[in-house]
Amino acid sequence: MAAGAGFLLDLGFGLLLLAVATFALRTRTTYAAVVGFVAFGVLLALVWFRLGAADVAITEAAIGSGLTGLLLLNASAMLRHTESAAVGLQTRLPVRAAAFVAAAAVAAGLAVAVLALPSPAPTLAPMAVAGAPATGLGNPVAATLMAFRATDTLLEKVVLLLAIIGIWSLARDELWGGRPGRRHEADPKGTLVFFARLLPPVGIVFGVYLLFVGADHPGGAFQGGTILAAMWLLAIMARLSDTPAIDGRWLRFWLIAGPAAFVLVGLAGLALGEAFLAYPQPFAKPIILGIELAKIVTVAVTLAMLVAGPPERPGNPHR
């Protein structure tokens, strides 16, 4: 691995990654910077494959590049009127020089740390492989997320919920309970509507497939849920669907269903005398799949509502 075609490929990927990051930083318009950032995310996903981390690669492509890209593109379009004012501003040279020195020092320090990493690298891989049979999951990353470090995954869901609360809190008072986002305009005979009818059936099947395959192979509820969210957002943008009013009961139910199922299973583990989130041995896999099933819907709804933003239109007055 030290030499040869594989390393040359890695060398090229790394240099390209740095070049695209620099482009995203230095390009003049915000829009071009965001496009550069999306390209950066796709490249980074390829790098994750090269690092033997297919699960991370799928997450990076779906979230880091895909959804973040959509969010930033949308924001750059909505902020276009502020562009001219911000372009004229230049940070003063001494500040830039100091920032450069600080950034270079941080990068150099990290580089030294990378070169000084201990040589028989410490690893938890053997322990993960040894513990995996007890979970019934063949994918050690899934076993990590759902069993060994399940508390992290539970708290991550809570973070997403907190982000939703934070975003809804930015709504104007009179629009509380309204629908997020603008009502999109779409030509009913246009390409967008065509694809919004064509892609969702395929995307929904693929999203659910990712959930089930994630037990033994790269994939999982989060990655699958992201695809479901993307399909919903596509339908919303093509005006085939609309964002739900934020005080809807079903919406609230699905937002908390995933974390709630997780917490209930955790408390059951505590009640059965073992520990919080201890899965009873022979049922570990069905329980984990049950949590994942609730999670995929919650993830899809949460991500779509996060991207949709705070309510901007009055909701259904008849409720």
Partner 1 sequence: MNSATWYGLVGAALAGIGLYGLIVQHHVLRKILSFNLLGAGVFLLAGAVARRGAAAGLPGDPVLQGLVITGIIVAFAATVLAVTLLLRLGQATGSASLSPRALDGATSSDGETKTSLDANEASPRAPPAATDPRDGATH
- End-to-end CA gap in the chain: 64
Residues 6+ apart with CB under 8 A from 313: 175, 178, 179, 181, 182, 183
Q: Does 222 bind partner 1 (CB under 8 A)?
A: yes
Within positions 101 to 120, which residues make up the interface with partner 1, using CB under 8 A?
102-104, 106-108, 110-111, 113-115, 117
Selected from 5, 52, 94, 275, the binder of partner 1 by CB under 8 A is: 52
Selected from 124, 198, 205, 264, the binder of partner 1 by CB under 8 A is: 124
Within positions 287 to 306, which residues make up the interface with partner 1, using CB under 8 A?
306
Within positions 183 to 202, which residues make up the interface with partner 1, using CB under 8 A?
none
Look up residue 137 and give its two tokens. 């999951």
Q: Does 40 bind partner 1 (CB under 8 A)?
A: yes
- Measured from the CB of residue 99, what is the shortest distance to partner 1 in angstroms? 4
Nearer to partner 1, 167 or 193 (CB): 167
Selected from 18, 134, 202, 267, the binder of partner 1 by CB under 8 A is: 18
Within positions 223 to 252, which residues make up the interface with partner 1, using CB under 8 A?
none
- Measured from the CB of residue 271, what is the shortest distance to partner 1 in angstroms? 26
Q: Does 2 bind partner 1 (CB under 8 A)?
A: yes
Selected from 190, 286, 290, 314, the binder of partner 1 by CB under 8 A is: 314
Within positions 137 to 176, which residues make up the interface with partner 1, using CB under 8 A?
140-141, 143-145, 148-149, 152-153, 156, 159-160, 162-163, 166-167, 170, 174-176
Nearer to partner 1, 111 or 202 (CB): 111
